[in-house]
Chain A
């Protein structure tokens, strides 16, 4: 394509207003597209970061999330006896049986309203199993006391959920003695307490929701899975890495948001494409004499086609760059929503990824191509004599 880039670039500036309007249209589409994908990705990232791949988490097979899973003491005993359960330097098994329930708390702020918060009863090895969890204010709860610690997200977002406050649930008052932070994973949106205390408060003695233990090394996972298949006391239960389990909890939300977002965006992206098409048709109409001159000088039809197509692609790529740039600021936002998978509140950040950026670029190239195609064909098909005569 021998037509100089200078010509293509500078021609874009001759109709500044309509070019700008078209670029803004593309930018809006890309912004929404990227924002929705960033939201879905943010939820996934937060949940993927929630577990490690050298911990395994056991839940009941049929369970939809932790709150509907039940593991009795007997089963806990069988699991705790497995040889793959790692031990710490003092010989203590690195295993925790968690009881997961949901309580309602009032949100802080103008929107207010209630939302669901996960309360997790844990055993003391929990900090060794989940080392990203660090107490940043106050102290750990004492075994045997009606005390809890809150994730930093809960302290931030809910009324009365700060260190020193008391929350009433399970027929008793619970003192918040500390706040923990996990560097931004799902546990940040939870409250933790002593599992025995919570079991008794909720009349769930002898039952856990899930059991998590640390593997000596990640390649022992298969051995554990095999054991679960072999032992018929463990038939109804499912083994996953802790990371996999929590990642799966994000699946529904993630797919729901992505699918809906992409479906709707594809629709109104047609609007932006039409805008580009109208702009390009106008560009061709206004430059008919130029096109005739270029053809007379000896430039080929396909060069003319390419030149206009490139012009359209520049418009859409510029729009994409602006949309991406603006969307990237969303990454500074920390937002919170009910996660359908766990039925409770989850704080997350919009997260950009290389895949999302590539998807946006490809999408914008597609828009530019579709919008520019027919007008470029028209430009290429102009008859030289007629084009020159139209002056």
Chain B
């Protein structure tokens, strides 16, 4: 299977006051299309940083990252924004739904960046919400939903534009056992049934179990 994500000798460091703190040290990684990859490692190992780089919300200091044929490390900020809107679906630990928008409107958000008509957007939103099983909660606000339900809406938002890859940062980190199960089952289904490539950062060994492949990061290096 062709690689949809190619990370080549990528390095990243942060500046704290006048100190350079290296986080990733010449990482190379290949993710084939349709893979469900889990990234694990202790705090400060750089796993979230790697995820951010792959998702195009941060830029490496060295190396290249190619996603679906595009070297995103070479894109300008505005090009990256455009690229993200069609190629990446985000799932955050704390859901990050906009509290003033309903579930429907949250899912619709990324579609507003496309040129789809209102009617077409409606189709996509309804489809996404039906996949996650929340069609009956379309007009509810996040504060009216449970944690598990919020995360499902977030997942619906992530898949609404049918992106190339899904990135998930500790998707079950804030959920109880039962809800976490639901979410993981949903992610598995997205991967098996809908052939979505998923890169997931997690602490939770049960979450890691659901992934096909698990890689470990420690002190900025892949094991």
The answer to whether A and B touch in the complex, with CB atoms under 8 Å apart, is yes
Among candidates A10, A13, A289, A297, residue contacting B110 with C-beta atoms closer than 8 Å: A297
Are A300 and B96 touching (Cβ within 8 A)? no
| Distance in Å: Cβ of A174 to nearest Cβ of chain B | 73
Which residues of chain B come closer than 8 Å to A293, judged between CB atoms? Answer: 90, 92, 96, 98
Are B52 and A300 touching (Cβ within 8 A)? no
Are B57 and A385 touching (Cβ within 8 A)? yes
Bound complex: CA A10 to CA B102 (Å): 11
- Is A299's beta carbon under 8 Å from chain B? yes
Are B96 and A11 touching (Cβ within 8 A)? no
- Is B205's beta carbon under 8 Å from chain A? no
Are A296 and B101 touching (Cβ within 8 A)? no
Are B96 and A388 touching (Cβ within 8 A)? yes
- Is A6's beta carbon under 8 Å from chain B? yes
- Is B33's beta carbon under 8 Å from chain A? no
Within 8 A of B (CB), among A66-91: none
Q: Is the interface of A mostly helix, strand, loop or mixed?
A: helix
- Is B58's beta carbon under 8 Å from chain A? yes
Bound complex: CA A301 to CA B92 (Å): 21
Are A296 and B90 touching (Cβ within 8 A)? yes
Known: A296-B84, A297-B90, A298-B82. A4 touches B96 (CB 8 A): no
Are A289 and B96 touching (Cβ within 8 A)? yes
- Is B112's beta carbon under 8 Å from chain A? yes
Known: A4-B112, A385-B57. A297 touches B100 (CB 8 A): no
Chain A residue nearest to B167 (CB atoms) is: A296
Q: How many residues of chain A have a CB within 8 Å of chain B? A: 25
Are B109 and A297 touching (Cβ within 8 A)? yes
Known: A7-B100, A385-B58. A297 touches B113 (CB 8 A): yes
- Name 12 A/B residue pairs within 8 A (Cβ), A-sorted: A4-B109, A7-B101, A11-B100, A296-B55, A296-B84, A297-B90, A298-B84, A298-B85, A298-B110, A301-B77, A384-B57, A391-B96
| Distance in Å: Cβ of B6 to nearest Cβ of chain A | 22
Residue-wise, chain B 79-95 has the 8 Å CB interface mask toward A (1 for contact) of: 00111111000101010
Which residues of chain A come closer than 8 Å to B92, judged between CB atoms? Answer: 293, 388
Within 8 A of B (CB), among A1-33: 2-4, 6-7, 10-11, 13-14
- Is B18's beta carbon under 8 Å from chain A? no
- Is A295's beta carbon under 8 Å from chain B? yes
Are B101 and A385 touching (Cβ within 8 A)? no
- Is B120's beta carbon under 8 Å from chain A? no
Q: How many residues of chain B have a CB within 8 Å of chain A? A: 26
- Is B105's beta carbon under 8 Å from chain A? yes
The interface of chain B, by Cβ under 8 A from chain A, is: 52, 55, 57-58, 77-78, 81-86, 90, 92, 94, 96, 98-101, 105, 109-110, 112-113, 157
Residue-wise, chain A 289-313 has the 8 Å CB interface mask toward B (1 for contact) of: 1101111111111000000000000
Chain A residue nearest to B86 (CB atoms) is: A298
Which residues of chain B come closer than 8 Å to A299, judged between CB atoms? Answer: 81, 113
Known: A6-B101, A298-B84, A384-B58. A391 touches B94 (CB 8 A): yes
Interface centre among B84, B92, B98 (most CB of A within 10 A): B98
Which residues of chain A come closer than 8 Å to B101, judged between CB atoms? Answer: 4, 6-7, 10
Chain A residue nearest to B112 (CB atoms) is: A2
Bound complex: CA A6 to CA B106 (Å): 11
Are B99 and A297 touching (Cβ within 8 A)? no
Bound complex: CA A7 to CA B101 (Å): 7
Are B85 and A297 touching (Cβ within 8 A)? yes
A-B pairs with lowest CB-CB distance, top 9: A298-B85, A10-B100, A293-B96, A298-B84, A384-B57, A298-B81, A2-B112, A297-B110, A298-B113
Chain A residue nearest to B95 (CB atoms) is: A293
Bound complex: CA A391 to CA B173 (Å): 14
Which residues of chain B come closer than 8 Å to A10, judged between CB atoms? Answer: 100-101
Chain B residue nearest to A293 (CB atoms) is: B96
Bound complex: CA A290 to CA B97 (Å): 8
| Distance in Å: Cβ of A293 to nearest Cβ of chain B | 4
Bound complex: CA A384 to CA B99 (Å): 19
Which residues of chain B come closer than 8 Å to A391, judged between CB atoms? Answer: 94, 96
Bound complex: CA A297 to CA B90 (Å): 7
Within 8 A of B (CB), among A33-50: none
Bound complex: CA A294 to CA B97 (Å): 10
